[in-house]
Structure 1
Amino acid sequence: MERIIEEIREDLDRRLALAADRLADRTLAEDPAYAALLGRAELRERIHHNLRQAVEGLVRNLGGLPVDLSDARATGTLRAGQGLPLASLLRTYRHGGRLLWQTLTEAVAAHDRAALPRLLPGATALWDVLDQMTDAVTEAYRRTDALRGERDRQRRAALLDVLLDGATAADGPAASEAAAQLGLPERGRFAVVAVGPGTPALPPGTPPAAASGPGAVPGSVPSPRVLWRIRADGETGLVELGHHPLEAVRELLVPFGVRAGVSPVVEAPAGLARARRLAALALRAAPASEGPRTALLDELLPAALVASQAELASRLRQVVLGPVLALPAEDCRVLVTTLGTWLACRGSTAQAAQRLYCHRNTVSNRLRRVEQLTGRTLADPAHVVELALAHAAVVQRAAIAVPRPADPAAARPSPTPGGTARRSPRPRA
C-alpha cells in the first residue's frame, strides 16, 4: 500500500489540489458559518493542507507509526476561538474524508487499474486515521469552547457587578458601558429580583418564550429577559421588563418555588444598584413563615421600612409590644397572631374570626387584652400605625406565622353589619 502511494504521489498531489477547490466551493455555498468566517483562498488552503495531512497519517499508520495530530488539535482550537460551530467543522471533515478516498481510488485507477484490489486493505487504515483526526479536532474544540464559555461567564458576572453594585474600578467600564456590553438599552424599564439563599437553584438564564415557530402558543409574548448573578448570599437577577408589567416577574418565578424580593421599576442602568438594595430589602421584609413567595417592595412598604432600620425595629418591638412579648410563649403567639390577622383583614373582627376559626367575641377579647397590655387603642389611627409596625418587626425577627389573605378581595371590609372594618374591635353593647 505504501509503495502504491509513493508511485502515484505526484498525480495524487495534483488531484488533492483540485479536490480542495471543489470542497471549498461546496462548503462556502452550503455553510453560512464558514462563509461568514473565511475567504475562499484561506479555506481552500486549509482544506488542501488537511487532505495532505491525512495522506501522511495514512502512510505513518501503515508503517506502524503514530499519526501526527498536532495540526488537527490546532484547527479545533482555532475554530472554537473564532466561534465556528462544531457541527460545521465536523461536517467539512466528513466531506473531506469521503473526497480523499474518492481521489485516492481515482489516482490509483489512473496509474494501474489492476492495482485497485491492493488498495482495499488500506481503507480500514484510512478511516482509522480520519477518526483520529476528527477526535483530536473535536476534543481541542470542546476544551477551548469550555474555556471561552467560562471566560464569557466571568466577564458577564463582572459587568453585572458594575451595574448591581454601583462601584466602578478606575480602569473598569461605567454603568452605561457595562449595560451596552450586556446588550441592555440606555433607557428602558428594568427591575432587580433578589432570591434568598437555600432556595432551589434557578436556571443560568431565563430565555424569552418563543413567540413563533413550531410549538409556540399563538399570540404568546416573549417573557422578560433576566440576567442572573450568583452570590454567596443568594441569587440576583437583572430583569429587562420591556413593556411587561412588574407583576410579570412574579409570574416568571412561580414555577421555581423560591422566596424573592423585587425592586420598583427603574428607567436607566445607573439606577440598578439602588434597585438591588431595594430588592434585598423586599426579601428581608417578606416573612419567611409564608414560604415561597415573590414580594414586590411597593406591596409591603411599612414592613420594608421596619426591615431597613434594625436598631429602631428592635426598639419598636420592645416599646410597643414588649408587655405582649413578655407573656408565656403560647399566650404571646395567640395575641400576636390575632393582631396580625386583624390587621391583614383591615380591621374586620368578623373576617379575622373566620380566618382564625373562632368566635368574633374571642377575637375582640384578645384584641382588648392587647390594648390593655400595650396602653394603645385600636380606635386611634396613630396607635394602629404603631402596632402594625411593631407587629411587622416581631414577625420579621421571630418568623411567627401570621395568615395573610389569599387574594386582595379577601382583605376587603365586610359589607355585612357584623364587620367592624376601620373601627375599634370592642363588641357592641
Structure 2
Amino acid sequence: MERIIEEIREDLSRRIAATADRLADRTLAEDPAYAALLGRAELRERIHHNLRQSVEGLVLGVRGLPVELADARATGTVRAEQGLPLASLLRTYRRGGRLVWQALTEAVAAHDPEALPRLLPAAAVLWDVLDQLTDAVADAYRRTEAARSDRDRERRAALLDALLDGAGPPDGPAVSEAAAQLGLPERGRFAVVVLGSGSSGSSGSSGGSRGSADPGGPGRPGTEPAPSGLRVLWRIRADGETGLVELGHHPLDSVRELLGPLGARAGVSPVVETPGHLARARWLAALALRTVPASGGPCTALLDERLPTALVASQAELAGRLRQVVLGPVLALPAEDRRVLLNTLGTWLTCQGSTTYAAQRLYCHRNTVSNRLRRLEQLTGRTLSDPAHVVELALAHAAVLQRAAGEPAAAGPKPAGRAPRRGG
C-alpha cells in the first residue's frame, strides 16, 4: 500500500492542490461564516495543508504509527477564538476527507487500474485518520470555547460588580463603559433585586454559575428574556444573589412575576433611570429585603410599599431605642402576655384600625380585642385615637418584628420603666 502511494505521490500532490481550490470555492460560496472570516487565499492554503496532512496521516496509519494531531488541535483553537461555528469547521474537514479519497482513487486508477483492489484496505485506515483529526479539532475547539466562555463570564461579572458596587461617580467613564459592554442603555428604567439567603436562586445553581453573571431569566447568568419579558443580569457572590432588571416599558410590579417561580424572599428597589444609580438601588433593594421576616416564607418586598418598615430597618440603633421607649413596658411582660398584646396590636394595624376585623382574625370577641388594646395604651402611654401615637406604635412594632427575625434565639429585652403617658 505504501509503495502504491509513493508511486503516485507527484500526481496525487497535483490533484490535492486542485481539490483544495475547489473546496475553498465551495466553502466560501456555501458558508457565510467562513466567507466573513477568511479570504480565499488564506482559506485555500489552510485547506491544502489539511488535505496534505490527511494523506500523511494515511501513510503513518498504514505503517502502524500514530497520527500527528498537534496541527489539528491548533486549528480548532484558532477557529474557536475567531468565533467560527464548530459545525462549519467540521463540515469542511469531512468534505476534505471525502475529496482526499476521491483524489487518491483517481490517481491510482490513472497510474495502474489493476492496483485499485489493493487500495481498499487503505479506506478503513483513512477514515480512522480522518476521525482522529476531526476529533482533535472538535476537542480543542470545545476546550477553547469553554475557556473563552469562562473568561467572558468573569469579565461580565466584573462589569456588573462595577455597577452594583459603585465603581466611581454615577456619571463617570467606568460606569458608562461597564453599562455599554453589558448592553445597557445610558438611560432607561432599571431596578435591582436582592434575594434572601436560602432562596432557591435564579439560575438553578451566578454569578453568579453560580458565582458569576447570568444575563438571563430565572433559569440561568445567557441573554434570554425572563418569563415576564424582562431582561435580567444575575450576579451570585458569597454575600448573596442580586439581579439587575432592565424593565423597559414594564411596570415595576412585573418583577413579582419574575420572582414568583423562585419561591424566594426578595427585596426590590425603586426604579432608577441610569446605570450610575444602580449601586444605590442595590442598597435600597437590600433594605427592602430586611423588611421581610426570615421565617415568613416566600415574599417579594417592593421598597416603596414598605417605607415605614424600611425606615426602621435602616436605623438599627434608633430602632432599638424606639422599641424600648414606646413598647418597653409591653416587652417587659411575661412571654405569653407579651405575645398576646403584640399580636393583637399587629393584627389591629393590619386591619386598618378595625377592632371588629381584628377580632375575626384573632378568633376572639370584639370586646376582648378592645380590652387588650386598652391595656396596651395604659402600658405605653400612647392612645390609639391619636394618629401620631399610632405611627409610633406601628414603627415600634415593626422594630420588634425585625429584631425577632434577626435574632430568633435572643431572649426578650430587659424590663424598661413605663413611659410617661402622653396626650389623652
Aligned partners of 1:362 and 1:36: how far apart in 2? 81
Aligned residue for 2:216? 206
Aligned residue for 2:51? 51
Aligned partners of 2:260 and 2:157: how far apart in 1? 25
Aligned residue for 1:123? 123
Aligned residue for 1:167? 167
Alignment match of 1:387 (pick from 385, 388, 393): 393
Aligned partners of 1:398 and 1:107: how far apart in 2? 87
Aligned partners of 1:55 and 1:86: how far apart in 2? 23
Report 1:361-400 matches (<5 A).
Answer: 361-399=367-405
Aligned residue for 2:238? 232
Aligned residue for 2:350? 344
Aligned partners of 1:45 and 1:207: how far apart in 2? 44
Q: Do the aligned partners of residues 385 and 207 (structure 1) sit closer, same or farther apart at CA in structure 2, a change above 3 Å counting?
A: closer
Report 1:211-290 matches (<5 A).
Answer: 223-290=229-296
RMSD: 2.0
Report 1:132-171 matches (<5 A).
Answer: 132-168=132-168
Aligned partners of 1:222 and 1:83: how far apart in 2? 31
3-state secondary structure, aligned to 1:130: helix
Aligned partners of 1:372 and 1:81: how far apart in 2? 76
- Kindly indicate whether residue 339 of structure 2 is the aligned counterpart of residue 326 of structure 1: no
Deviation at 1:330, TM superposition (A): 2.4
Moved more, 21-30 or 336-345: 21-30
Letter in 1 for 2:361: R
Q: Do the aligned partners of residues 111 and 167 (structure 1) sit closer, same or farther apart at CA in structure 2, a change above 3 Å counting?
A: same
Aligned partners of 1:85 and 1:319: how far apart in 2? 69
Q: Do the aligned partners of residues 227 and 107 (structure 1) sit closer, same or farther apart at CA in structure 2, a change above 3 Å counting?
A: same
Deviation at 1:173, TM superposition (A): 5.4
Aligned partners of 1:9 and 1:162: how far apart in 2? 61
Q: Structure 1: 5+ residue runs without aligned partners?
A: 210-219, 401-429
TM-score of the two chains, using structure 1 as the length reference:
0.87
Moved more, 311-320 or 322-331: 322-331
Q: Do the aligned partners of residues 355 and 32 (structure 1) sit closer, same or farther apart at CA in structure 2, a change above 3 Å counting?
A: farther
3-state secondary structure, aligned to 2:290: helix
- Kindly indicate whether residue 317 of structure 2 is the aligned counterpart of residue 307 of structure 1: no
Moved more, 182-191 or 90-99: 90-99
Please tell me whether the aligned partners of residues 218 and 258 of structure 2 are also in contact (alpha carbons under 8 angstroms). Answer: no
Deviation at 1:199, TM superposition (A): 1.3
TM-score of the two chains, using structure 2 as the length reference:
0.88
Deviation at 1:108, TM superposition (A): 1.5
1:248-304 deviations in Å (ceiling 9; x for gaps): 111111111111111111111111111111011111122223211111100000010
Q: Do the aligned partners of residues 17 and 222 (structure 1) sit closer, same or farther apart at CA in structure 2, a change above 3 Å counting?
A: farther
Report 1:17-28 matches (<5 A).
Answer: 17-28=17-28
Q: Structure 2: 5+ residue runs without aligned partners?
A: 204-213, 220-225, 407-424
Aligned residue for 1:187? 187
Report 1:65-104 matches (<5 A).
Answer: 65-104=65-104
Aligned partners of 1:329 and 1:22: how far apart in 2? 89
